[in-house]
Chain A
């Protein structure tokens, strides 16, 4: 069963705009991670935020975590055509494996 649910399922923006994706989950977590997948390729880790953190930055990425609402958001600023990919949130709890959502498909139009 899926733990994380990304929203929206698909997002289309112009190059240079910001892209925001949301993730909601159901149970307590130790950390939440975001991964990117280019079409048909392996997933690539982007950023990890722990349950005691509220915000984290990495380059053009900004992730927030609200454990009271069991939700997270990923913001990509000044998007580029190369950012076109599917983005997945994944939740981790203790020694259990990561559980992935179904992803948001981002299209950045040049």
Chain B
């Protein structure tokens, strides 16, 4: 158990819908990262927050947005969903903003029908 929690575990929804994925980092970790894992693209970095502020942005679509709240939990919002958005979405946390060890949550499996 990494100490990072993600909800829900599974999400099935239809094209065009909007969903919110939630992540709670390990106690004391200030950085939260979101990654998308699909079969064809591998593990893609989406976005990073550090102590409530956006720190780095990766291959995140404009339809996707995220935020980190004062209690350090984070939410990833995916809107106007397409079939290609079906993937595993991972949240990870670390104690620093730099590229040190990441602790991954169990992931949310999103299926868009």
A residues with CB within 8 A of B: 2, 30-31, 33, 35, 40-45, 48, 88, 90-103
| Complex Cα spacing A30 to B104, Å | 21
B26 interface hit (Cβ, 8 Å): no
Residue contact A100 to B107, C-beta cutoff 8 Å: no
B residues with CB within 8 A of A: 2, 4, 33, 35, 42-43, 45, 48, 55-56, 58, 88, 90, 92, 97-107, 109
Closest to B39 in A: A102
Contacts of A103 in B (CB 8 A): 42-43
| Complex Cα spacing A42 to B43, Å | 11
Residue contact A40 to B103, C-beta cutoff 8 Å: no
Q: A2-B42, A97-B45 in contact; A40/B88 too (CB < 8 A)?
A: yes
B33, B43, B56, B100 interface centre (most CB from chain A within 10 Å)? B43
Residue contact A98 to B99, C-beta cutoff 8 Å: yes
Closest to B45 in A: A97
| Complex Cα spacing A2 to B59, Å | 11
Residue contact B106 to A42, C-beta cutoff 8 Å: yes
Q: A40-B107, A40-B109, A42-B107 in contact; A98/B102 too (CB < 8 A)?
A: yes
Quote the shortest CB–CB distance from B61 to chain A (angstroms).
15
10 contacts between A and B (CB under 8 A): A2-B42, A30-B98, A33-B101, A35-B104, A42-B2, A42-B105, A92-B100, A98-B45, A100-B42, A100-B43
